[in-house]
């Protein structure tokens, strides 16, 4: 009888121990880690969508604004750098690698902003349906990137907090010693904003990305000098 009682108690411990551990949050760390990795996959997909749009955008602008060679080359080079700096889900705990990735993407965002600002000076682009479609898709993609980065940051913050607070910090120090904090995005507000494009159908000069108007539209006559004051 005693043996049967001991056996029953042992079986009860085997059955209830995992349930007790689960109730204490032992499974939260891997679960939240996988959620953060899934959100990172969404970020990568959004960035890839932007990279896929750029060649057609550059080709369309080049056809109407070949003289903007410096800007076009800048976008192409920034895209090559951004697609060349990759980071996997396993590298999300490496702040240095994450920073290199983030900087490359931010540089591409800046180059795209300059390209779209310059394109406002070209009437043929303002009426080009292919360009307008690409510009609209790019703006939508930038919004997707912002949402994906926000969701990723939320998942990372939740996961990192789980590693630090009780009782889950106990499991991090025992069962999940290899679990390390992940790196969130820390991009500036400007870098996270979608390019603001306002087409000037009245032919007025477009504002430069960081300053005063970029000048009169190509092919337009220079402004007449102000009349001299009468003596």
pLDDT for 115-162, tens place per residue? 999 999 999 998 999 999 999 999 999 999 999 999 999 999 999 999
Q: What are 1-29's pLDDT values in tens digits? A: 454 655 544 444 444 445 445 557 899 99
pLDDT score of 209 more than 60: no
Q: What is the mean pLDDT of the chain?
A: 80
pLDDT of residue 193: 54
pLDDT score of 112 more than 80: yes
pLDDT: which is higher, 135 or 231: 135
For residues 208 and 183, what is the distance between their CA atoms, to the nearest angstrom?
Answer: 34
Q: Where are the beta strands (DSSP E) in 5-83?
A: none
Is pTM beyond 0.75? Reply is: no
pLDDT score of 95 more than 80: yes
Angle between helices 95-119 and 28-64 (to 10 degrees): 30
């Amino acid at each position: 009888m005693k043996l049967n009682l001991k056996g029953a108690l042992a079986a009860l411990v085997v059955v209830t121990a995992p349930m007790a551990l689960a109730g204490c949050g032992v499974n939260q760390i891997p679960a939240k880690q996988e959620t953060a990795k899934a959100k990172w996959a969404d970020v990568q997909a959004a960035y890839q969508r932007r990279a896929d749009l750029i060649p057609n955008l550059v080709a369309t602008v080049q056809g109407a604004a070949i003289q903007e060679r410096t800007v076009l080359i800048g976008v192409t080079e920034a895209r090559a750098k951004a697609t060349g700096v990759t980071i996997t889900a396993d590298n999300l705990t490496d702040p240095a690698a994450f920073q290199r990735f983030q900087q490359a993407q931010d540089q591409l965002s800046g180059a795209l902003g300059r390209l779209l600002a310059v394109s406002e000076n070209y009437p043929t682009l303002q009426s080009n349906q292919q360009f307008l479609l690409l510009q609209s898709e790019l703006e939508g993609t930038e919004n997707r990137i912002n949402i994906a980065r926000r969701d990723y940051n939320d998942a990372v913050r939740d996961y990192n907090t789980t590693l630090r607070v009780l009782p889950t910090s106990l499991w991090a120090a025992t069962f999940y010693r290899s679990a390390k904090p992940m790196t969130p995005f820390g991009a500036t507000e400007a870098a996270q904003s979608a390019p603001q494009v306002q087409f000037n159908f009245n032919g007025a000069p477009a504002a430069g990305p960081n300053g005063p108007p970029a000048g009169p539209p190509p092919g337009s006559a220079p402004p007449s000098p102000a009349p001299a004051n009468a003596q």
